[in-house]
């Protein structure tokens, strides 16, 4: 609508995009358009600027036309469209750290198991020594098991390098003397992590970034369900760990 020509991206950075425009109609000319982005306390401020050089003789038109009035409506339309697109994409953003964060409705379940405060260095030994006898005890009780071995985290202390965690078995309902229970249901944020267990940290960080982005409050626990049995699948890259963050609401 404004002519014919081409537009080339000259530079691209985190806070600016600069493009060069070369017009061939209605007359040959060159211009530069810059879009700058500035993060503020209440949001992101976007500035769209246009700079060109009108050769002698043609520049006499500046005396007859108000360029702000001519270009202003198009500039406003452009930034309004940008605002609409970015807000829509922000509201539907689910990929963080190259991981897809899904929202699922968790069917009511009870985790039954052993809760302890342990150091990070003790975690592997804690789970290895707890899960096998725990599953045998829960299986012998007659309770209906509805999932795989799970770690239910109540606290993760970076400073002391410790955690309060349950080695648990998900069951439909019930209790066993000497074991503790945690009931979970409702909406949860879920990431499927494939790979060795030590890589699950990325899944937790992805969910935390999702919560910050969307303003979601974390619930009382975080859960890792170890879906793949290493005795049946020897390739660690194929191990599936489902990471759940029940958020409620």
- pTM given for the model: 0.73
- Which architecture does CATH list for 99-246? Alpha-Beta Barrel (3.20)
> Is the backbone of residue 97 left (phi > 0), alpha (psi -120 to 50) or beta?
left
Could you give the 3-state DSSP secondary structure of residue 142? Answer: coil
In whole angstroms, what is the distance from residue 208 CA to residue 190 CA?
11
What residues contact residue 69 under an 8 Å CB cut-off, 6+ apart?
Answer: none
Q: Quick one: pLDDT at residue 69?
A: 74
For residue 71, is pLDDT > 80? no
What is the location of CATH 3.20.80.10 in the chain? Answer: 99-246
In whole angstroms, what is the distance from residue 181 CA to residue 23 CA?
71
Stated as kind and residue range, the H or E segment containing 126 is helix 123-141
Q: What is the mean pLDDT of residues 43-50?
A: 87
pLDDT tens readout for residues 131-167: 999 999 999 999 999 999 999 999 999 999 999 999 9
The secondary structure of 64-83 as a DSSP string is: T--HHHHHHHHHHHHHHHHH
Structure tokens at 145: 């098991």
In whole angstroms, what is the distance from residue 92 CA to residue 228 CA?
30
Bridge-based pairing state of the strands 99-100 and 162-171: unpaired
Structure tokens at 244: 């759940």
In whole angstroms, what is the distance from residue 243 CA to residue 191 CA?
5
Q: Quick one: pLDDT at residue 126?
A: 97
- Are 99 and 182 in contact by the 8 Å Cβ rule? The answer is no
For residue 68, is pLDDT > 80? no
User: What is the number of residues in the chain?
Assistant: 249
Q: What are the backbone angles phi and psi of residue 188, rounded to the nearest 5°?
A: -145, 150
Stated as kind and residue range, the H or E segment containing 212 is helix 201-214
For residue 88, is pLDDT > 60? yes
Nearest to 164 by CA among 174, 177, 151: 151
Residue 38's pLDDT band, with cuts at 50, 70 and 90, is very high
Across the chain, mean pLDDT equals: 90
SS (H, E, C) 184-210: EEEEEEEEEEECCHHHHHHHHHHHHHH
Distances (CA, A) of 236 to 4, 121, 194, 242, 244: 56, 20, 8, 15, 20
Q: Quick one: pLDDT at residue 51?
A: 85
Could you give the 3-state DSSP secondary structure of residue 134? Answer: helix
Q: How far is CA 142 from the centre of its chain?
A: 39
Q: What is the mean pLDDT of residues 230-240?
A: 95
Bridge partners for 189 per DSSP: 103, 245
For residue 58, is pLDDT > 80? no
Q: How far is CA 172 from the centre of its chain?
A: 30
């Amino acid at each position: 609508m404004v002519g014919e020509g081409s537009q080339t991206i000259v530079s691209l950075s985190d806070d600016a995009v600069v493009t060069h425009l070369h017009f061939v109609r209605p007359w040959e000319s060159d211009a530069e358009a810059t879009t700058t982005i500035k993060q503020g306390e209440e949001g992101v401020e976007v500035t769209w600027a246009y700079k060109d050089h009108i050769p002698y003789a043609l520049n006499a038109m500046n005396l007859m036309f108000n360029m702000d009035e001519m270009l202003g409506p198009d500039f406003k339309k452009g930034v309004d469209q940008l605002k609409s697109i970015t807000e829509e994409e922000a509201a539907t953003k689910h990929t963080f750290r190259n991981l897809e964060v899904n929202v699922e409705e968790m069917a009511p379940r009870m985790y039954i198991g052993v809760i302890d405060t342990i150091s990070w260095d003790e975690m592997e030994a804690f789970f290895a020594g707890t899960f096998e006898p725990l599953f045998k005890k829960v299986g012998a009780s007659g309770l209906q098991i509805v999932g795989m071995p799970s770690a239910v985290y109540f606290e993760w202390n970076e400073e002391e390098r410790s955690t309060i965690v349950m080695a648990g078995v998900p069951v439909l309902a019930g209790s066993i003397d000497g074991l503790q229970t945690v009931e979970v249901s409702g909406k949860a944020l879920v990431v499927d992590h494939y790979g060795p267990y030590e890589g699950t940290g990325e899944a937790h960080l992805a969910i935390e970034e999702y919560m910050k982005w969307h303003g979601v409050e974390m619930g009382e626990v975080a859960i890792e369900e170890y879906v793949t049995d290493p005795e049946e699948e020897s390739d660690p890259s194929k191990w599936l760990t489902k990471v759940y963050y029940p958020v409620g609401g």
